[in-house]
Amino acid sequence: MATAAPSKDLPPNAYTPLPPGVAYEPTVPASAAVPESTPRSIAWGLLLCVIFTVASAYSGLKVGQVMEAAIPISILAIGLARLYPRRSTVLENVIITSIGGLAGSVVAGAIFTLPALYILKLDPHPAQTIFICLAGGCLGILFLIPLRRYFVREMHGRLPYPEATAITEVLVTGEKGGSQARLLLEATAVAGIYDFFVTTFHVWKEYIDLQFLPPVRSLVDQARLVFNFDAISFILGLGYVIGLRSSLILCAGGLLSNFVLVPLVWMIGSHTIGAVYPGTSPIAGMNAAAIFRNYVRFVGVGAIATAGIFGILKSLGIVMGSFGVALRAFRQGRAAAAGERTDRDIPIMSLLAGVAVSAVAVAIFLGALSPSPLTILVGLALTLVFSFFFTSVAANAIATTARNPISGMTMLTIIISSVVLLRFGLSGATGMFFVMAIAGMVCTALSVSGQTVTDLKTGYWLGSTPAAQEKVKFLGVIAASIAVGFTIVLLARVFQFGDAVPGDTRVVLPSPQASIMKALVEGFMSRQPVAYLLFGAGAAIAVVMEMLGVPALIFALGMYLPLELNSPALVGGFLSHYLAQRSERRGDSSIRERGVIVASGFMAGGALGGVFGAACRLIPSFRETWIETPFYGQNAASQIVSALLFTGLCVYLWRRSNRPARSGVE
């Protein structure tokens, strides 16, 4: 039977809402029989998953930033495709990316929580570490699959999917070749070199805070009003892809936290004597970063949690509808189950069996930590409920801003789990291990579900079989869980996690997120008070945003994330807006297309540069001073150079997007 020939272009409606009655036709039609889950794609995906897991684990524990693996792996997949007599198909490259991309997500779930057990001197067995990651990853995939139709198909064109857009553009332009592929590779190289040097060595300042100017420094000292800007290409490209509106809302949340709440806490708290909970030192002695970390960030957590609840309520009908569709397909037998290839998920009974097996395994694991059947049931219920409901929060956040509020949701998990389990008599060292195990599984589930929805959206645009992607995801979770489990164990023997301990001469890996989680669970299990007022204030802000019709989750993410990660995205958003206007005025859609390609290259190159930087840090003798410019230590000169070079990136994006198309080439 003849099949439609796959296209090498994305359809014109790939990024726009569909009119009623119009169906999206992917690059590879549903009728096409194209290799997907082949031995080569699975083998390369697993190998790259393990390699990037090891590199990302060290990077995350060192600087608190996990390198997203999916974008660089998609570029590597294109290169690997040329190694075979039969060049790998775009759908095989999707499988490689789907498996390999789990490296960053499983690592995030692990390093945000599990190092806290080492800081608390509750050293887990390697098998326990691996199981926590494996169970959480499987739950994240299982709970995300029923949401696929809603987030991927029903919301087509209404959610920007920044990371999925970048991955898709990489795979499509790599498949097409020609000038667009060259433009993508050129932008990738520019961003990769730029981000590699600025984040790895002492060449120029990565962060611009303008504190070398006396008026700015005065504001910092007298009001704790701090402006920060992370001048790297990755965030610039991210802002371009998510667009102006989302960038504005994201940055607005950051402005509220840093220009209103931080100075407000400082003004009131600087006159108090002694520490104000949850802080551990007097506010008068805190800088803006400490005030944000000890107080304002909890307001952001409350806002994220409340916005997440709104998102859950809004999508609850769709979620139930997805289960209903799946159940109807099961009842109708194989004819219904064997529907259109590009809309076929793992069967509902397989999902239910997977959840049941996972639940039994989690119960057995928790039973080894606590002998009380009631405590085991409560712990199992907390794990399943949080993993299920937070999955939609993670999917929505990733689809909107490419940023998953993992740490905020994990903090909420720790708080609620601690409060509940304390009522059942669980406390002390056993209670801390029990709670952190639950938090580790939930954290990994959230992280993996966010990456899964990204990959499923990429597959939707290109024409993959969802069931094929979903099946190989479990292989990736197994590989990444084993790799990160042994990596954390090895690093724990060589380094200290958290803060330096007197008498311990090992080098410190700060493990910032795990240190926060450790402080939380230790405080609760020691029966310290909870800062409910801060969480409640955040909840009230989220309610106000919903009343105003503003996407509360984006605003809450902006409140929670450091301002330096929001401000560059706004620059990218403005560039996207003005280039879109220019494209409309000229009637030339290629301006917008080239802009997306360059921005995708910035995201891909920035991620690659970060991975290479992480690899350099694995060298025992590595020092950031290997490359150091004479002006690096001079704040004014270094920040001015940083601002000029970032401006150069903006000019490059603008000029390459506006370059006239050459006949027959673009």
The string of pLDDT tens digits covering residues 558-571 is 888 788 888 998 99
CB 568 within 8 A of CB 227: no
Report the pLDDT value the prediction gives residue 507, as an integer from 0 to 100.
64
Q: How confident is the model at residue 312 (pLDDT cuts 50, 70, 90)?
A: low
157-195: pLDDT as tens digits: 888 888 888 888 888 877 665 556 678 778 889 998 998
Report the pLDDT value the prediction gives residue 318, as an integer from 0 to 100.
52
Half-sphere CA count of 82, side-chain side, radius 13 A: 7
54-87: pLDDT as tens digits: 777 766 676 555 656 787 788 778 878 777 888 8
Q: How confident is the model at residue 19 (pLDDT cuts 50, 70, 90)?
A: confident
3-state helix, strand, coil in the chain (%, to 5): 70, 0, 25
CB 129 within 8 A of CB 110: yes
For range 118-122, the mean pLDDT: 86
Report the pLDDT value the prediction gives residue 541, as an integer from 0 to 100.
96
Distance between CA atoms of 195 and 217, rounded to whole angstroms? 27
Distance between CA atoms of 50 and 102, rounded to whole angstroms? 9
Report the pLDDT value the prediction gives residue 334, as an integer from 0 to 100.
45
CB 509 within 8 A of CB 491: yes
Does 261 score more than 70 pLDDT? yes
| Better-predicted residue by pLDDT, 472 or 398 | 472
130-146: pLDDT as tens digits: 999 999 999 999 999 98
At 36 the three-state DSSP class reads coil
Question: Rounded to the nearest 10 degrees, how much is the dihedral formed by the CA atoms of 117, 481, 96, 456?
Answer: -70
For range 445-455, the mean pLDDT: 91
CB 492 within 8 A of CB 118: yes
Q: How far is CA 364 from CA 283, 356, 371, in A?
A: 45, 12, 10
Does 514 score more than 90 pLDDT? no
Report the pLDDT value the prediction gives residue 562, as an integer from 0 to 100.
81
222-233: pLDDT as tens digits: 889 999 898 989
Report the pLDDT value the prediction gives residue 664, as an integer from 0 to 100.
38
Backbone angles phi, psi at 664, to 5 degrees: 80, 0
For range 422-442, the mean pLDDT: 89
| Better-predicted residue by pLDDT, 461 or 500 | 461
Does 329 score more than 50 pLDDT? no
Q: Whole-prediction pTM value?
A: 0.73
Q: How confident is the model at residue 337 (pLDDT cuts 50, 70, 90)?
A: very low
276-304: pLDDT as tens digits: 888 878 998 899 988 998 899 889 878 87
Does 326 score more than 60 pLDDT? no
Does 1 score more than 80 pLDDT? no
| Better-predicted residue by pLDDT, 316 or 386 | 386
Report the pLDDT value the prediction gives residue 181, as an integer from 0 to 100.
63
Q: What contacts 529, CB < 8 A, 6 or more positions away? A: 277
Instruction: Tell me the pLDDT of the chain averaged across its residues.
Output: 83
What are residue 207's DSSP bridge partners?
Answer: 230
Does 322 score more than 70 pLDDT? no
Report the pLDDT value the prediction gives residue 56, as an integer from 0 to 100.
75
| Better-predicted residue by pLDDT, 183 or 379 | 379
Does 584 score more than 60 pLDDT? yes
For range 392-412, the mean pLDDT: 78
Distance between CA atoms of 267 and 261, rounded to whole angstroms? 10
Does 454 score more than 80 pLDDT? yes
606-657: pLDDT as tens digits: 877 876 776 787 677 888 889 999 999 899 999 999 999 999 999 999 999 9
Lowest model confidence (mean pLDDT) among 349-358, 390-399, 437-446: 390-399
| Better-predicted residue by pLDDT, 455 or 608 | 455
Report the pLDDT value the prediction gives residue 363, as an integer from 0 to 100.
95
Lowest model confidence (mean pLDDT) among 42-56, 64-78, 151-165, 585-599: 64-78
User: What share of the chain has pLDDT > 90, as a percent?
Assistant: 34
> What is the residue-wise DSSP string for 234-259?
HHHHHHHHHHHHHHHHHHHHHHHIII
Two tokens, residue 335: 């004819």
Report the pLDDT value the prediction gives residue 499, as an integer from 0 to 100.
65
Backbone angles phi, psi at 27, to 5 degrees: -60, -45
Q: How confident is the model at residue 38 (pLDDT cuts 50, 70, 90)?
A: very high
At 265 the three-state DSSP class reads helix
CB 179 within 8 A of CB 664: no
Q: Which of 401, 404, 394, 16 is nearest to 247 (CA)?
A: 401
CB 545 within 8 A of CB 256: no
CB 653 within 8 A of CB 594: no
Q: How confident is the model at residue 2 (pLDDT cuts 50, 70, 90)?
A: very low
Distance between CA atoms of 436 and 121, rounded to whole angstroms? 13
At 56 the three-state DSSP class reads helix
Report the pLDDT value the prediction gives residue 335, as an integer from 0 to 100.
43
Q: What crossing angle do the helices spanning 563-586 and 233-256 adopt, rounded to 10°?
A: 110
Report the pLDDT value the prediction gives residue 661, as an integer from 0 to 100.
46
CB 273 within 8 A of CB 506: no
Distance between CA atoms of 656 and 625, rounded to whole angstroms? 34
